Structure 1
Amino acid sequence: MIPLAALTMWPMTAQADVTISDGWARASILASRPAAAYLTLRSDEDDQLIGITTPIAGHVTVHGVETDANGVSRMSAIEALKLPSGETVTLAPGGMHLMLIALTEKLEEGTVLPLTLTFASGAKIEISVPVLGPGASGPEKE
């Protein structure tokens, strides 16, 4: 893991005209269990988030939460996350999130998680998000 002092400043903008803010991950208890990360995306042009990678997980997917007519919620993978021009798309606890599967190490509170986001426009954005405690609900706002 990268030390917390190496944290990339937020928000970040790249050639994709996508602004990424409020990124964070929740510490994991075991490397054998999936972990979750969250962030907010806003694009100046219609685009799609089509891939996410990190060196500490075998696979990263965007998961949405669907609730059926009986009120039962379940997660489902989203192949391409649409980013409509000018709209904010938020990944947050209880809703859409990044699911990190097949971790090579557990996420430790106080470190950062490096992520590479790939967009349909061809752009790739590299970011690092802070890893907060296992019970965290997000970064504290000042």
Structure 2
Amino acid sequence: MKSSIAIAAVFSILVGLPTSSVAGPEDVVVKDAWSRASIGTNRPGAAYLTLHNTGTDPMTLVGLQTPLAMMPEIHETKTDANGVSSMSPAGEITIAPGESISLEQGGLHVMLMNLQTKMVEGETFPLTLTFSDGETLTVDVPILGIAARGPES
């Protein structure tokens, strides 16, 4: 399995496909991973990305790890009828075959709580996604400017 992942990554480089995402479980593709620089370590950071399941079986994301934060979790922001927003852990996220899940501002996203170092613009950090089948996928997440609104900004 690991050799097929390496071959897929090399193939992507050779044909010019995005390489930020060909790794880990062979049926999951990660696109547009990014985060914002932080002022310090006393407030949580966040990361955003899109997960696409290219396989024929559902994939369930059950955990996250990064040396950047002691408590990385998937959170969801919800806004009630009165316009009041709240955020809470989302738990496991299942991606149906052929479908994508976006972890983005204002919805599902990666919360990086208890930062161990400041998030510095221009750097990257590894984010390891763990799936219910025990497979993992590690993505290098670029840190953009403090006012960034997405990977294109």
Determine helix, strand or coil for the equivalent of 1:79: coil
Deviations 1:81-113 (A, max 9, x none): 111111110111222110000011110000001
1:66 to 67, 78, 101: 78
Unmatched runs of 5 consecutive residues or more in structure 1:
1-7
d(CA) in 2 for partners of 1:13 and 1:123?
A: 11
**Structure with more contact order per residue of length (Cα contacts < 8 Å, sep ≥ 6):** 1
d(CA) in 2 for partners of 1:36 and 1:136?
A: 12
Deviations 1:23-55 (A, max 9, x none): 011111111110000000011220111101101
Conservation of the 8 A alpha-carbon contact between 2:78 and 2:106 = no
Conservation of the 8 A alpha-carbon contact between 1:16 and 1:121 = no
TM (normalized to structure 2)?
0.82
**Which stretches of structure 1, 4 residues or more, deviate above 4 A after TM superposition?**
none
d(CA) in 1 for partners of 2:103 and 2:48?
A: 5
Conservation of the 8 A alpha-carbon contact between 1:16 and 1:119 = no
Conservation of the 8 A alpha-carbon contact between 2:21 and 2:139 = no
**2:108 is aligned with 1:108:** no
1:12 to 16, 22, 27: 22
d(CA) in 1 for partners of 2:33 and 2:152?
A: 12
Determine helix, strand or coil for the equivalent of 1:135: coil
Q: How many residues of Structure 1 are paired with residues of Structure 2 in the alignment?
A: 134
- Matched with 1:3 is none
Deviation of 1:16 after TM superposition, in Å, equals 4.7
Higher Cα radius of gyration = 2
Aligned-residue CA RMSD in angstroms?
Answer: 1.6
Q: Pick closer, same or farther for the CA change 1:92–1:70 going to 2, 3 Å.
A: same
TM (normalized to structure 1)?
0.88
Determine helix, strand or coil for the equivalent of 2:121: coil
The aligned amino acid for 2:35 is A
